[in-house]
């Protein structure tokens, strides 16, 4: 992304104000403007709060595994407790097919679809962790409905309803859905769950967060050598499944 000769940011002009589709909500990039799927080959969105050092760990692990052009919104930002709470509470309003359909026709979805088509044989990938997985699933559906292609949709600990999960898995323009449930680590969250099941799981998730915040649903969200090893294992699995 580059600024115009006049000093104006053409990227900001193109996107306009942040919207529900631009979940980074104005995260600055080196070239100015806002980070959006239309400028990414692999946009990976973090959990509620969309900030914290663990996001840098994801980017480093993906890049070390050979995945190209990785963008992780909020990787340089501290976790905002206020935003964390708002994001977590908003999940039941954005984890179903109706929400994904509401993104279709939005300028960012249309621009991302054009971007994906312009890549030709190169991959256009979306993914996320927890809250970010719900956002990525909705975005992928919108891009696909706009005639774009999503080569890989990566869902890690995704609290999405069955209708959205089924829609992204069956959509002909979404070529590969890689779902990583963390039930073997004690996570009660899984792709395809109902909102009733999600609400019922919240006490256990909250307890995992309060205990140490680095196991169960938070298996990949810690900082340090052990969690770097975990993220490396995930990145290697994604490459084995076709992410480039």
Average pLDDT in the chain:
84
Using the Cα atoms of residue 101, residue 70, residue 45 and residue 204 in order, give the sign of their dihedral.
Answer: positive
Q: What is the pLDDT of residues 125-179, one digit of tens each?
A: 999 999 999 999 999 999 999 999 999 999 999 999 999 999 999 999 999 999 9
Neighbours of 129 (CB within 10 A): 30
User: What pLDDT, on a 0 to 100 scale, did the predictor assign at position 36?
Assistant: 58
In contact, 161 and 137? CB cutoff 8 Å: no
- The tokens describing 52, both together, are 């914290």
User: What pLDDT, on a 0 to 100 scale, did the predictor assign at position 39?
Assistant: 58
In contact, 130 and 189? CB cutoff 8 Å: yes
Residue bearing tokens 């039930």: 183
Structural domains of the chain sorted by starting position, each given as residue range(s) with its CATH number in brackets? 11-240 (3.40.50)
Q: What is the pLDDT of residues 217-227, one digit of tens each?
A: 999 999 999 99
- The residue among 242 and 41 whose pLDDT is bigger is 242
User: What pLDDT, on a 0 to 100 scale, did the predictor assign at position 74?
Assistant: 86
Residue bearing tokens 């069956």: 170
Neighbours of 79 (CB within 10 A): 19
Q: How far is CA 172 from the centre of its chain?
A: 20
Angstrom distance (rounded) from CA 178 to CA 155: 6
Using the Cα atoms of residue 37, residue 40, residue 42 and residue 46 in order, give the sign of their dihedral.
Answer: negative
User: What pLDDT, on a 0 to 100 scale, did the predictor assign at position 189?
Assistant: 98
Percentage of the residues of the chain whose pLDDT score is greater than 90: 70
Please state the rounded mean pLDDT for residues 206-220: 88
- The tokens describing 152, both together, are 């890989």
Task: Look at residue 53 and tell me whether its pLDDT is greater than 60.
Answer: yes
- pTM for the predicted model, two decimal places: 0.84
Phi, psi of 130, rounded to the nearest 5 degrees: 60, -120
């Amino acid at each position: 992304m580059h600024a115009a000769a006049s000093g104006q940011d053409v990227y900001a002009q193109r996107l306009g104000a942040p919207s529900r589709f631009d979940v980074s909500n104005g995260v600055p990039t080196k070239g100015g403007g806002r980070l959006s799927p239309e400028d990414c080959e692999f946009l990976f969105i973090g959990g509620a709060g969309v900030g914290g050092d663990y996001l840098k760990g994801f980017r480093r692990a993906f890049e070390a595994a050979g995945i190209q052009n990785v963008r992780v919104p909020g990787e340089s930002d501290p976790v905002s407790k206020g935003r964390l709470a708002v994001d977590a509470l908003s999940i039941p309003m954005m984890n179903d097919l109706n929400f994904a359909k509401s993104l279709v026709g939005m300028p960012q979805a249309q621009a991302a679809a054009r971007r994906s088509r312009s890549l030709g044989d190169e991959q256009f990938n979306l993914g996320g962790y927890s809250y970010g997985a719900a956002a990525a699933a909705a975005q992928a559906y919108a891009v696909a409905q706009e005639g774009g292609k999503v080569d890989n949709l990566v869902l890690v600990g995704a609290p999405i309803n069955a209708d959205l999960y089924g829609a992204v898995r069956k959509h002909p323009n979404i070529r590969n859905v890689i779902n990583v449930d963390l039930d073997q680590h004690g996570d009660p969250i899984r792709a395809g769950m109902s909102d009733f099941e999600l609400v019922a799981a919240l006490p256990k998730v909250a307890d995992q967060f309060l205990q140490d915040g680095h196991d169960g649903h938070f298996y990949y969200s810690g900082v340090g050598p052990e969690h770097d090893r975990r993220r490396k294992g995930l990145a290697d699995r994604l490459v084995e499944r076709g992410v480039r």
